[in-house]
Amino acid sequence: MKSSLKLALGLASAISASAAVSNVAHAEDLTLCWAAWDPANALVELSKDFTKQTGIGMKFEFVPWTNYADRFLNELNSHGKLCDLIIGDSQWIGGAAENGHYVKLNDFFDKEKISMDDFVPATVVGYSEWPKNTPNYWALPAMGDVVGWTYRKDWFSKPELQKEFKEKYGWDLGPPTTFDQLKQIAEFFQKRQIDGKTVYGASIYTERGSEGITMGAMDVLYSYGFQYENPKKPYEMEGFVNSDKAVKGLEFYKALYDCCTPPGASNSYMGEGVDAFKSGQVAMHMNFTFTWPGLQKDENVGGDKIGYFVNPKGPDGDQFAQLGGQGISVVSYSDKQEAALKYIKWFANKDVQAKWWSLGGYSCLNAVVKDPNFPASQPYAQAFLDSMAIVKDFWAEPSYAPLLQASQKRFHDYVVAGQGTAKEALDGLVKDWTQIFQDDGKI
């Protein structure tokens, strides 16, 4: 009787103790929300160090890019508690700040001596500030990203192709520095037989559903002279969005799509681009730089076969590239804000940022990217640095979603479906965007 009582008591205390331990552990677990892509896997690896140091467990909620915005904006709008930390897209910052989804980080940064001067300026403006160019911070720059290009170095270096190219175009086949050169190279490779396979010129963004074609077309339009608004008068778009130069840029993008993309590439974005390059279909490939570490490691097209170049210059020598990437924010509806802030403090640390880069993430910390060894640390490091120096981003207004939907429609209608002219597309865009800002009471 005595022994069975002891046994029962022992069991009961063991059960309650284990329940208490597991409760404590779960109470401290943080959930980080992000897109399901390669850098997210690197972050899982990196975050193990955080758990080791603090005892705070990390859970992750990763959603594919095509549903990323829908899923997490719904979560934020419904004041959900799923995410304690969120790595939200750069364009969300306006809406997230104005609607109170993110915790403002200024006081925290001051207290923890985290200075935004320590980060690449473009990433601070793009990922952290709202209103733009004011010292109001809602995120810590987490993942630097920008649209750049990869090319098949092995094809470019074939002597017979080099000779033929030089004879045809009068300059040496190599990474293009202007968009005209890029188109000439793309035309040269289009439907060419290489190693017994038909290959094509370039893979560019044409996706209709989310943001693809806008990210791609803007990448060209910026360097052709497109501007979102009158720099002296905010929200005045007539003559800037639809300037003659912008029209020429959009015409160029359509010409590139028509002449030099693989068959059926009418709905391509990041994944389709990577597939086209990896399967040896294209000579050049437009994509965000986050895809580069994976491509560099690829057995068929990586290593010595791949090269990287910065988005080329426009006809007047202007050179810009579409900003991608995200900052990490604390969700204001989280019950674990203190632990979430601990994670941000840990993530801002120089050693953590260095490891982040080594694992395949793109650090935005000056101490990492301005390190003298950085350009040689990876074959694509220099192209990434040069690209980050010329970035421009899409509207980050609270109405970014309708603004984006309007450009998606106008660009796809013209570039892919061939409806109307570039001028009509951009005039229509001015009309759509003006209406959206009028609805918002900004005009």
Judged by the rule CB under 8 A, the positions of this chain that interact with another protein are: 69-70, 73-74, 77, 79, 95, 99-100, 198, 207-209, 262-267, 281, 398, 401-402, 404-405, 409, 412-414, 416-419, 439
Our CB check for another protein shows the closer of 239 and 418 to be 418
Our CB check for another protein shows the closer of 266 and 349 to be 266
Nearest to 58 by CA among 93, 94, 89, 34: 34
Our CB check for another protein shows the closer of 249 and 262 to be 262
Quick check: 93 and 128 in contact, CB under 8 A? yes
Our CB check for another protein shows the closer of 30 and 96 to be 96
∠ CA 364-370-150, nearest 5°, is: 70
Closest separation in Å from C-beta 71 to another protein: 10
Our CB check for another protein shows the closer of 146 and 436 to be 436
Q: What is the DSSP letter of 125?
A: I
| Residue 150, beta-bridge partner list | 285, 308
Closest separation in Å from C-beta 151 to another protein: 21
Q: Where are the beta strands (DSSP E) in 264-334?
A: 282-288, 306-309, 321-322, 326-330
Closest separation in Å from C-beta 312 to another protein: 26
Closest separation in Å from C-beta 209 to another protein: 4
Nearest to 145 by CA among 292, 386, 272, 323: 323
**Beta-strand relationship, 147-152 and 282-288:** antiparallel
Nearest to 186 by CA among 198, 203, 168, 211: 203
Our CB check for another protein shows the closer of 350 and 409 to be 409
Closest separation in Å from C-beta 66 to another protein: 9
Closest separation in Å from C-beta 77 to another protein: 5
- 3-class DSSP assignment, residue 281: coil
Amino acid residing at 327 = G
